[in-house]
Amino acid sequence: MSMLLLLVDIDGTLLRVDRTVTRRVWSDAWAAVLGGQVPWNRLDSMAGKTDLQILAQLLGDR
């Protein structure tokens, strides 16, 4: 079995990763670390935000 480590900026802008791929990677990581699904509905926009701002908005009152 081969494994691949993929490092992706949460919004995909720095690496120009397709949004679908970025969301899939983050959804899988979120499920593995926090359980459940990423609450994308809490996020109004990722534009102009740092990764920490995005994570804070996604985590909310968790």
What's the token pair of residue 33?
Answer: 């670390």
Residue ranges per structural domain of the chain: 1-62
Quote the pLDDT of residue 31: 92
- Work out the widest C-alpha separation in the chain, in whole angstroms: 39
Quote the pLDDT of residue 21: 76
Quote the pLDDT of residue 47: 78
**DSSP codes joined into one string, 19-38:** HHHHHHHHHHHHHHHT-S--
List per-residue pLDDT tens for the chain, 62 residues long: 555 555 666 665 555 666 777 788 888 988 998 898 888 888 787 778 888 888 888 888 65
What is the pTM assigned to this prediction?
0.56
